Structures are given as structure tokens and as C-alpha cells.
């Protein structure tokens, strides 16, 4: 069975309209929030500017994205929504990656696609419209290096979850680089995750 | 006037909008990780960055929202809407009935950030709702037609330290 992204997006859209009495959105095993992308970009790029663009903020933001992706998608795949909506579509291990990407699209992170997946070895994601890149371009213009730190971290996290050691021991066993980014003038953002050097 | 918030939540292709404002869904893991990263790395400068980012984005969002809804004219209605928007965004419950153009007190019995922080990192020793503080400062500036930074919001008690509720003092800066 092919992965039905529309069905996953619909489940997220439907579920994220439900609030419990405390004003919290519990969905797919996590607590969701709807916050302006401007907020996230101000934090990430404000942090980077405050630390002098020396790679310090980039490293921490990618790590935050990877640790978050690892915990988030573990919560997602342990949820009853995953069991009910997503699991019936999954035929092999690799399908999990495609489902995680569908959920990232549903979360409004961008138009992500799986470009290449070599089981256990390599994952290539691409997107032309990520909120991080768009936000950077809008405020600062072009840059010499990729700026999609959250998605870069998440790319590594997807491989950690599917091919790394059992949760919670597998985080950071893979690492991702952003080989192309629209803030550099490239036609798309591309992320390649491979096993981290030990 | 009541707002049909679900009607304002829309998807256009891969993008999400709330009343025309681009938004993203993120979970407590990411939000709390960002906060901890900034606090640990930058200390008070990181806290200020979190507060200012929330203030500026809530000011921009609520200003745009009010422009699209010119029939909402009274401060009371605007405050009620701000409170319901906070709840609709999954941010929790915020009580804006004891605050006005001169400041006042804002309370929050439940919030995404409190629930998320306690779930992920446990009890804090100091107050930690910097997002909510900045968010309150931004929406109040939008409601009372003031500039960003006009209000300062200081958290007096915080559920992250296991207080009964979060209490914020609002003053003119």
C-alpha cells in the first residue's frame, strides 16, 4: 500500500482542531502548539546573530531539531492515532520515513519530499519552500550557508529512529548536512543524513 | 462578536495559516528544547530573545487579526479574543480580565509551556514562562494601539516551579 499523505494531513488537521479543557492540543502522542513562523525564525536567527555567526548557534539549533525530531516522532509512532491512521499503510521499515515526512508536511514545515532512501545508509530530503529558508530570506536576504537548521536536525532524527538503536539510545547516530539551500540561491533545500562518524 | 477559530485555521498546499498569518505546528519537545538551548547558552540575553520574539510575533499577528476584523472595537472584546486565540493555538488558558491600558495582573492556570516543561525537564527553580510574558506584552500593545515594548510583563509566580498558577504583572515600561 502506498503512503497516503493526504490522509495523514487530514488526520492532523482534524486532530489539531480539538482542545482539551486546559487549552492544550494533545495529538499523535505530543502536545502541539500553533505559533507564528515569525517567532521561530526570530529565535533561531536572533540566536545566530547574537553569537556572531560562528557556527555555535547553528550546531545547537541542529541538535535541538534532531533531539526534538527524535522524541517527537517516537511519540508520534507510539500514539493511538499512528496505530489507527498510519500503521495500516506501513508495509516495510522504510515506509515509516515516508509517513514521518507526511506528518512534517502536515505540521506546516514545508513541501518536503523523500528524494532518496538507502536503507540504513542514506536519506535525502528536498523542499523548495521551508519556513526557515523563507523567513531568513525575507529578513536578511541571501546567505553563504544553509539556514534550515530544524529540518536538517529532523532529517538525522528520522534515520536515528528507523535504523538506529532502540529508543532512547539511538539519537545522534546519524548526522545530516544541508547540501543546497534556497537562501544560497539554490533551487531547493536538500538534506542528506548518513551514519555519524564514531 | 465571536470568532469561529476553526474557520480561521486553513491549509494552502503545504502551508498553514491562522487568520492569514503563517504558522507552524510544533510540539513541546521542540519548544522546550529551544527555550533550554537559549537559556543555557545566552542566559538573560537568551531569555530576552525568547520574550522579544514572542512579543513581536504576537503584536504582528494580533494587529493583523484586528485589521481583518474592524467590527471588534472595544478593548474588552479584543481582550476576550486574545484570550480565546491563545487557547485555540493550544497555548493554554490566559486570563486577561484584570489588565488594562495602565497594566494590571494576568494569570494563567494552564499552559503548553508549563505542561511541556514539566513533562520534559521537571520542576524549575525559577520562573520560566518567557513566551507567555512576551505574548501578553505584544497583544496588549496591539489592543491599546501602543508600540512594541510599551508594556513590560514580569512573571511573579510560575507553575513550572509548582506554584498554583502563573501570575504576571503588567506595567508600562
- CATH number for the domain including B86? 3.30.1380.20
Rg (CA), chain B: 16
Q: With contact defined as beta carbons under 8 Å apart, do A123 and A114 qualify?
A: yes
Domain count, chain B: 1
The reply to whether residue B88 touches residue A13, judged by beta carbons under 8 angstroms, is no
- Residue B6 counted as domain residue: no
Cα–Cα distance for residue pair B71/B2, rounded to 1 Å? 11
Contact of A150 with chain B, judged by CB distance below 8 Å, is answered with yes
Q: Which domain holds residue A92?
A: 5-195
Nearest-CA distance from B104 to chain A in Å? 23
Cα–Cα distance for residue pair A77/A103, rounded to 1 Å? 11
pLDDT of residue B10: 82
Per residue in B130-149, pLDDT tens?
999 999 999 999 999 999 99
- Residue B163 counted as domain residue: yes
Tell me the ipTM for this assembly: 0.95
Which residues in B lie closer than 8 A to residue A39 (C-beta atoms)? 53-54, 57
C-alpha cell at B42: 545566552
Measured from the Cβ of residue A196, the count of other Cβ atoms closer than 10 Å reads 14
The reply to whether residue B88 touches residue A9, judged by beta carbons under 8 angstroms, is no
Contact of B91 with chain A, judged by CB distance below 8 Å, is answered with yes
C-alpha cell at B27: 510540539
C-alpha cell at A185: 540561491
Closest by alpha carbon to A125, among A96, A154, A103? A154
The CATH number assigned to the domain holding A129 equals 3.30.1380.20
Q: Where on the phi/psi map is residue B43: left (φ > 0), alpha (ψ -120 to 50), or beta?
A: left
Q: At what angle do helices B28-42 and A56-77 cross, to 10 degrees?
A: 160
- Residue B82 counted as domain residue: yes
The total number of residues shown for chain A amounts to 198
Q: Which domain holds residue B116?
A: 27-172
Which residues in B lie closer than 8 A to residue A64 (C-beta atoms)? 30, 33-34, 37
Nearest-CA distance from A197 to chain B in Å? 24
- Report percent pLDDT > 90 for chain B: 84
- Residue B5 counted as domain residue: no
Q: Where on the phi/psi map is residue A172: left (φ > 0), alpha (ψ -120 to 50), or beta?
A: left
Mean pLDDT computed over B47-63: 97
- Residue B7 counted as domain residue: no
The total number of residues shown for chain B amounts to 173
pLDDT of residue A3: 85
pTM of the full structure: 0.95
Contact of A34 with chain B, judged by CB distance below 8 Å, is answered with yes
Give B73's contacts (C-beta < 8 A, 6+ positions apart). none
Contact of B119 with chain A, judged by CB distance below 8 Å, is answered with yes
Cα–Cα distance for residue pair A148/A133, rounded to 1 Å? 6
Which residues in A lie closer than 8 A to residue B23 (C-beta atoms)? 34-37, 108
Domain count, chain A: 1
Beta bridge partners of B23: A36, B16
A19, A24, A38 ranked by CB distance to B57: nearest: A38
pLDDT of residue A142: 97
Residues of chain A with pLDDT under 70: 1
Beta bridge partners of A35: B24
Backbone angles phi, psi at A75, to 5 degrees: -60, -40
> Residue B16 belongs to what H/E stretch?
strand B15-18
Nearest-CA distance from A114 to chain B in Å? 15
- Residue B13 counted as domain residue: no
Nearest-CA distance from B28 to chain A in Å? 6
Give the pLDDT band of residue B18 (cuts 50, 70, 90).
confident
Q: What residue has cell string 517516537?
A: A74
Cα–Cα distance for residue pair B164/A195, rounded to 1 Å? 46
Amino acid at each position: 500500500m502506498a503512503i497516503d499523505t493526504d490522509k495523514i494531513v487530514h488526520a492532523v488537521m482534524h486532530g489539531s482542531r480539538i482542545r482539551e479543557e486546559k487549552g492544550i492540543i494533545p495529538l499523535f502522542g505530543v502536545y502541539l502548539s500553533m505559533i507564528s513562523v515569525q517567532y521561530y525564525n526570530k529565535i533561531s536567527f536572533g540566536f545566530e546573530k547574537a553569537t556572531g555567526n560562528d557556527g555555535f548557534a547553528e550546531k545547537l539549533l541542529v541538535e535541538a531539531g534532531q533531539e526534538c525530531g527524535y522524541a517527537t516522532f517516537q511519540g508520534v509512532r507510539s500514539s493511538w492515532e499512528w496505530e489507527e491512521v498510519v500503521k495500516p499503510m506501513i508495509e516495510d521499515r522504510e515506509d515509516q520515513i515516508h509517513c514521518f515526512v507526511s506528518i512534517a508536511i502536515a505540521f506546516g514545515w514545508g513541501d518536503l519530499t523523500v528524494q532518496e532512501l538507502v536503507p540504513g545508509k542514506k536519506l535525502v530530503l528536498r523542499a523548495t519552500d521551508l519556513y526557515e529558508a523563507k523567513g531568513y530570506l525575507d529578513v536578511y536576504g541571501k546567505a553563504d550557508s544553509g539556514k534550515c537548521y530544524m529540518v536538517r536536525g529532523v532529517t538525522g532524527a528520522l534515520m536515528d529512529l528507523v535504523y538506529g538503536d532502540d529508543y532512547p539510545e539511538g539519537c545522534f547516530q546519524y548526522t545530516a548536512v544541508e547540501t543546497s539551500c534556497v537562501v544560497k540561491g539554490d533551487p531547493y533545500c536538500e538534506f542528506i543524513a548518513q551514519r555519524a562518524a564514531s | 462578536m465571536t470568532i469561529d477559530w476553526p474557520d480561521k485555521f486553513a491549509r494552502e498546499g503545504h502551508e498553514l495559516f491562522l487568520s492569514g498569518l503563517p504558522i507552524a505546528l510544533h510540539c513541546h519537545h521542540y519548544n522546550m528544547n529551544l527555550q533550554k538551548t537559549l537559556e543555557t547558552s545566552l542566559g538573560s540575553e537568551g531569555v530576552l530573545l525568547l520574550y522579544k520574539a514572542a512579543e513581536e510575533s504576537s503584536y504582528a499577528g494580533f494587529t493583523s487579526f484586528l485589521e481583518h476584523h474592524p467590527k471588534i472595537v472595544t478593548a474588552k472584546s479584543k481582550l476576550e479574543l486574545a484570550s480565546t486565540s491563545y487557547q485555540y493555538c493550544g497555548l493554554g488558558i490566559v486570563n486577561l480580565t484584570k489588565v488594562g491600558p495602565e497594566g494590571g495582573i494576568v494569570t494563567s492556570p494552564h499552559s503548553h509551556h508549563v505542561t511541556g516543561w514539566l513533562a520534559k525537564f521537571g520542576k524549575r527553580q525559577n520562573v520560566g514562562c518567557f513566551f507567555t510574558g512576551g505574548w501578553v506584552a505584544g497583544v496588549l500593545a496591539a489592543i491599546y494601539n501602543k508600540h512594541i515594548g510599551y508594556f513590560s510583563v514580569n512573571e511573579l509566580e510560575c507553575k513550572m516551579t509548582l506554584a498554583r498558577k502563573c501570575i504576571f504583572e503588567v506595567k508600562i515600561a
